[in-house]
Structure 1
Amino acid sequence: MIKILVVDDHALIRKGLKQLLEDSPNLQVTGEAASGNEAITRVRAEHFDLLLLDINLPDKHGIEVLKQLKSEQPELKIIVLSMYPEEQYGVRALKAGAMGYLNKQSASDTLITAISQVVSGKKYISETLAEQLLNNLIGESQELMHQSLSNREYQTLCLMASGKSLSEISTIMTLSPKTVSVYRNRMLAKMGFANNAEAMHYAISHHLIESED
């Protein structure tokens, strides 16, 4: 039996994932966590074979939780399951130690396949993410500007480029508007941009957000 911990701050999402996995006799959700710290505490106290981890948690960024858990338990298998498309966080998640990355919108169709692949010791990489990884390998030898950003700075960039207002970004990131402004200013300074418009143009031209096609 594969024991799974579901980490998401929305109870309905946790319930939906649990129901989705109920039909698989060898998979069992034996734990739930609504925050990064709760997930870390449960992993330290209990045995889980697999984590389904959201990125947007109220206390810690999901990538930071991922890094901490992998540093403490390198053998732990983790699939990041997020509302953000693969091109935004897929590569970052894999570099941090995730075995797979899924967009929540497609999870119902691919989650069981992804779990089966990951528990067998293989990474699960969608076509979109595979293309992103390939582009990274054959692209510029220099590090792209956005790769130097912290996870919070990068999240601010992506949300801003998606057309979110400061108050909307503040709500999504569960941070104060003042703190979001600090991340925005740091992001602009690191990337050498004079204003939001330049940062938004960069994000769109580098496919950091989904197109409106």
Structure 2
Amino acid sequence: MSQEATANPKNESLNGGRIPYDVNAATVPAGLRAAAALAEAGFSPITRTRRRRRRTLSRSTQTNALEVFEVAVKEEEARKLVDKYICDDGFPFSSHSDNITEDVRLYSVVLEGNHNQRHVRFQHCLHHFLLSTIEQAQLTAFVSQTADHILAPYPIGLTTDTSLLVASPAVGNDPIYAANVTNSAYHGTIV
């Protein structure tokens, strides 16, 4: 996995995550494919073995990166987390947690966040266009969860009366998400 330093203020709203989804699920595979194609066209003096390794690594990265970022939050845990989020932040609206009828699946925007968080767990919908995959099942699952998040009302999803939010920390399992993923954050509860 490629690691990329995340600069403030983005760093706080992404909870210090060091391994970004977009780089590892889209940019790295595309770069590896491009390097292999350039070599095959004679623009790079690398051996056939190295070209084959780049193609194989590109396919492997592209095929497997998304599952590394996948998180499943059990239905009951998701309900409790959303209710707690609404209660702790004193929001004057419903949590809509009774609309959660199955496990919530999401894809971390980054890995290895602050406070020993393996997955930075909040809903977002901005990176689906960066998914560069040849795996139809993987693409279908990702687009489906994105649609679920877009269609569900905030805070269990991303839709508000005003517009679509960039992110929602409601199913995060650490209070740091609610503290950092706000309406003033770079990657937060903003329209």
Task: Return the TM-score normalized by structure 2.
Answer: 0.30
Using CA pairs under 8 Å that are at least 6 residues apart, name the structure with larger relative contact order, 1 or 2.
2
Rg comparison, structure with higher value: 2
